[in-house]
């Protein structure tokens, strides 16, 4: 199927574009009343994510309501632990919670490498329905968590400020850590390939907890596995977003991927220098900038665009959009990017 709007894919590959494409991390859900209406019709996030027709509906909402240049499939990074044998719950207002965690070799033995098609058939089905309904209007982005971030949740069992259990494991059980990271990596490659076979046009890896590792551990326990995934998944362009990994930008420039996501702490000119000219950069407006007035949101967006001007760029925030942001301000952000030349 030919895409009517392929700006995102062309920008990712470094081809010329008429204007900068724009989408938002975490655009599906959270901020839209239309999302909450669908979510309130079911028992909660997990039922919504596991009902392909509804997952497809909320995936497309931001395309219709906000005018973004891409859809991102509605799911979560934590479907991988579940598919490996470690189920999660989503606790209202608190976030993910795992009844069981991995703390020993015996726990590891109970896990398996996930097969993307069979173990995650509900995501694959949602992708197929979404592709049909989008009818080529915009590209569909698939995604997965980076192995380190998934590992952090599987060891910790929930969100955490420090992820100290997960980081302790890297020091006390490095061999066990590598075994689990390799299982997550193999599962993720299977999963991304299944997403691509079902129709996603680009994939993004979210390393949300990159920034809590020291540089040597980041290289050994995270980048090594991201690099394996980038080398294995060759069918579509790849984006690597490693939140807080300012210290690893030079190495990320050497990954076998097209796009590197920047968070809002990373200077744009400095990042370009470290990463090099041969990657597209994605980002990186401070998500809190959207709390401003329309004039302020526009000014902050232009300031960001000016710094990327003339280089390979996909406009986005520096992390996911905050749940209490007014959708009207998201529209100001998007419209400002679309009008910019
Ligand atoms: O980007 C999109 O809009 C697509 C859907 C998407 C979700 N989660 C849906 C979701 C994506 C890409 C994610 C990624 C994700 N999930 C990450 C990486 C990105 C990041 O923010 O760093 C992480 C760390 C998670 C784990 C997770 N899922 C947490 C910590 C939480 C609770 C807090 C929160 O962010 O809302 C979730 C729940 C979740 N994932 C919701 C949604 C729409 C909210 C659930 C609800 O509707 O109650």
Any catalytic annotation for residue 94? no
Q: Identify the burial level of 292 via C-beta atoms within 10 angstroms of its C-beta, where 0-12 means exposed, 13-18 middle and 19 or more buried.
A: middle
Distances (CA, A) of 120 to 26, 52, 252: 20, 11, 29
d(CA 246, CA 262): 9
Q: Is the CB of 159 under 6 A from ligand 1?
A: yes
Q: What is the pLDDT of residues 265-316, one digit of tens each?
A: 999 999 999 999 999 999 999 999 999 999 999 999 999 999 999 999 999 9
90 lines ligand 1 (CB under 6 A): yes
**pLDDT above 90: residue 116:** no
pLDDT tens string 193-208: 999 999 999 999 999 9
> Measured in angstroms, how far is the CA atom of residue 221 from the centroid of ligand 1?
23
Cα(78) to ligand 1 centroid in Å equals 9
Q: Does domain 7-339 have CATH number 3.20.20.210?
A: yes
The mean pLDDT value of the chain amounts to 97
Task: Produce one character per residue of 299-311: b if its CB has 16 or more CB atoms within 10 Å, e if not.
Answer: ebbeebbeebeee
Inter-CA distances, 50 with 37, 56, 71, 178, 259, Å? 17, 10, 18, 30, 29
pLDDT tens digit sequence for 151-186: 999 999 999 999 999 999 999 999 999 999 999 999
In which band, very low, low, confident or very high, does the pLDDT at 1 lie, cut at 50, 70 and 90? low
Q: CB of 294 closer than 6 A to ligand 1?
A: no
CA distances from 112 to 3, 80, 289, 333 (A): 37, 11, 42, 43
Residue 93 has a pLDDT of 85
340 part of the active site: no
Which atom of ligand 1 is least distant from the CA of 204? 12
Contact 38, 58 (CB under 8 A): yes
Alpha carbon distances (Å) from 146 to 64, 184, 229:
29, 9, 9
User: Tokens in use for 297?
Assistant: 């949101």
Nearest CA to ligand 1 atom 25: 77
DSSP codes of every residue in 200-221: -SEEEEEETTGGGS-HHHIIII
Radius of gyration of the chain (CA): 19
Distance CA 70, CA 78 (A): 22
Give DSSP secondary structure letters for 226-281.
HHHHHHH--SS-EEEEETT-GGGHHHHTTSS-SEEE--TTS-HHHHHHHH-TTSEE
- 30 annotated ligand binder: yes
Is 76 an active-site residue? yes
Q: Ligand 1: does its nearest atom lie under 6 Å from the Cβ of 78?
A: yes
Domains of the chain: which residue ranges? 7-339
Looking at the predicted structure, is the pLDDT value of residue 35 above 90?
yes
The residue whose CA has the least distance to atom 8 of ligand 1 is: 76
Q: Is 307 annotated as a binding residue?
A: no
Average pLDDT over residues 204-223: 98
Does the annotation count 153 as an active-site position?
yes
The neighbour count for residue 92, using CB atoms within 10 Å, is 7
Whether ipTM tops 0.90, in short, is: yes
Structure-token pair, residue 145 = 């968590």
Among residues 6, 10, 39, 340, which one is catalytic?
39
């Amino acid at each position: 199927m030919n895409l009517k709007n392929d700006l995102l894919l062309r920008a990712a590959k470094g081809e010329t574009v008429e204007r900068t494409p724009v989408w938002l991390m975490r655009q599906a859900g959270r901020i839209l009343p239309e999302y909450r209406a669908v979510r309130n019709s079911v028992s909660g996030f997990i039922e919504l994510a596991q009902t392909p027709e509804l997952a497809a509906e909320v995936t497309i909402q931001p395309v219709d309501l906000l005018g973004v240049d891409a859809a991102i499939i509605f799911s979560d990074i934590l479907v991988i632990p579940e598919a490996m044998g470690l189920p999660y719950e989503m606790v209202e207002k608190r976030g993910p919670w795992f009844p069981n965690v991995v703390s020993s070799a015996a726990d590891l033995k109970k896990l398996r490498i996930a097969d993307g098609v069979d173990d995650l058939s509900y995501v694959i089905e949602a992708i197929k329905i979404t592709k049909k309904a989008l009818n080529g209007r915009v590209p569909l982005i698939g995604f997965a968590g980076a192995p380190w971030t998934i590992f952090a949740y599987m060891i910790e069992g929930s969100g955490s400020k420090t992820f100290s259990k997960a980081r302790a494991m890297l020091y006390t059980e490095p061999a066990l850590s590598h075994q689990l990271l390799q299982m997550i990596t193999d599962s993720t490659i299977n999963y991304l390939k299944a997403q691509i076979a079902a129709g996603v046009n680009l994939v993004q890896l979210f390393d949300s907890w990159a920034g809590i590792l020291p540089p040597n551990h980041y290289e050994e326990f995270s980048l090594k596995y991201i690099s394996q995934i980038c080398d294995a998944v060759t069918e579509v362009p790849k984006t690597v977003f490693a939140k807080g990994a300012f210290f690893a930008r030079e190495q990320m420039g050497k990954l076998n991927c097209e796009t590197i996501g920047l968070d809002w702490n990373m200077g744009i000119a400095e990042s370009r220098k470290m990463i090099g000219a041969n990657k597209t950069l994605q980002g990186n407006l401070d998500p809190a900038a959207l709390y401003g007035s329309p004039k302020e949101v526009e000014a902050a967006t232009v300031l960001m665009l000016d710094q990327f001007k003339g280089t390979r760029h996909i406009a986005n925030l520096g992390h996911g959009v905050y749940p209490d942001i007014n959708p009207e301000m998201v529209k100001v952000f998007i419209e400002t990017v679309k009008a910019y030349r």
